[in-house]
Structure 1
Amino acid sequence: MPPLSTFRAPNTPFSSTSLPTLTPPSLLKTWWVTTSTLPMWKSAKNIRITYTAIPSTQDIDDIIHYNPRSSPPATGSTPEEAAKIVTKSIHGTDYPLSDNPGDLTYKWRGRGILFIATSRWQVVGYGGRDVRAVTSESGEEVLEGVEWVVTYFEKSLFTPAGVDVMTVAKEGVNEETLGAIGEGLKGIGGVLGELWDGIFDIPRD
């Protein structure tokens, strides 16, 4: 597995590691979903998830933007093509299911017409080339250098169980790192290893 990485089985703590603990403030940014096993993403491209803190709570605002794969390229299109680009969004709120900030397990509930939709997800892996903890202006510890995270979604009424690999960079991780992430999940075994066999790339243009 990548030298600066850690993985865990769902609903278990991360094992002791020299890697600093990933906490919610470290997630608060925009991530690109670059690979996935979730069928809902097979018709999507340019998937970006933005996590934002909701003031005075531990909850997280969660908004996904994506384009149908049939849309013209998001960059380099002619004005006529650009007018045909369709951007869709899914808006929800993530509610922490643990008081432990390093647990990173959430219940997602949709907003608007998706209010009846819920799912449970958690971070099961993360890493980068230069991961280190720093203290932010607010006094919270934030990890710098985290290049990717792996999220696991339990089966819900609307979707099967699945995993996403999300990266800070639009281009994603290189093939060697992606292969190592797969080895890390297969090393955990169980549902994560089984799901990885169905992994596919998400186009980004």
Structure 2
Amino acid sequence: MAGAPVIINSPNSAQFRPGLEIKDMMGTWYVTHSTLPLWKNKKDVTISYTPVDAPSTSSPLQFDDVVEYRAQSSPASAKRSRVVGVDTLDTASRDAAPTRFKWRGKGLLMIASSRWQLLGYGPSWAVTYFEKTLFTPAGLDIYARTAQGLSEDLVQDIKKGLTAVGGDVGILAESLFEVHRSQEAA
């Protein structure tokens, strides 16, 4: 039985598959594949999004962003490291994509920031594109709603969609690797 078609958008596209509501992105996502070097020696990587109450209706959309992970050599029972930030809808330009966000760290990481964009999604998966920063290269992450990850067929369909976008995204898609997950990871 075939699932919904995989639709991937190019970065900064003003068009996006209709029906996405930001509430669909809230909750915990498991990073199953990536091109970002920082995940090569990590495992059990999750990203959790939680809505932030906007102070007024004129304020841009925001949500808290908590990334957790373990070193690849750590047992599944080890406490995970944590990076906390806030994502704000990027409205800096009139042509801003409706799924482009600016991340800013909290606490000691307050000086760190980056831009990322949701390129595609389905009920069980999402794909994000991260722009290059002073400290990290541009990259892609594939997310799953469950720790078990995604079927190999779905991963291949996502990779094909990313390759079809072409440009930097298509090139990055060729270097996707699987992010390690513990059998017992929660």
The letter for the 2-side match of 1:52 is T
Question: 1-side partners of 2:15 and 2:177: how far apart?
Answer: 26
Aligned-partner SS, 2:170: helix
In the TM superposition, what whole-angstrom CA distance separates every residue of 1:96-140 from its partner, at most 9, and x where no partner exists?
Answer: 11399x81110000011111110000000112xxxxxxxxxxxxx
Aligned-partner SS, 1:6: coil
Question: 1-side partners of 2:124 and 2:40: how far apart?
Answer: 23
Aligned-partner SS, 1:91: strand
Q: CA deviation at 1:2?
A: 6.0
Give me the TM-score of the superposition, normalised by structure 1: 0.79
User: Where has structure 1 moved over 6 Å in runs of 4 or more?
Assistant: none
Larger of the two Rg values belongs to structure: 1
Aligned-partner SS, 2:137: coil
Question: 1-side partners of 2:169 and 2:111: how far apart?
Answer: 27
Q: Let me know the Cα RMSD of the aligned residues.
A: 2.1
Question: 1-side partners of 2:13 and 2:125: how far apart?
Answer: 20
Question: 2-side partners of 1:91 and 1:158: how far apart?
Answer: 17
From 43, 47, 50, the equivalent of 2:48 is 50
Query: Percent identity at matched positions?
Result: 39
Structure 2 residue 68 is matched with structure 1 residue 65: yes
Please tell me whether the aligned partners of residues 23 and 104 of structure 1 are also in contact (alpha carbons under 8 angstroms): no
* Equivalent residue number for residue 174 of structure 1: 151
Gaps of 5+ in 1: 75-81, 128-145
Question: 2-side partners of 1:194 and 1:153: how far apart?
Answer: 14
From 148, 154, 161, the equivalent of 2:131 is 154
Please tell me whether the aligned partners of residues 7 and 14 of structure 1 are also in contact (alpha carbons under 8 angstroms): no
Please tell me whether the aligned partners of residues 6 and 157 of structure 2 are also in contact (alpha carbons under 8 angstroms): no
Question: 2-side partners of 1:14 and 1:169: how far apart?
Answer: 28
Please tell me whether the aligned partners of residues 163 and 174 of structure 2 are also in contact (alpha carbons under 8 angstroms): no
Q: CA deviation at 1:53?
A: 0.5
Please tell me whether the aligned partners of residues 96 and 106 of structure 1 are also in contact (alpha carbons under 8 angstroms): yes
Structure 2 residue 32 is matched with structure 1 residue 34: yes
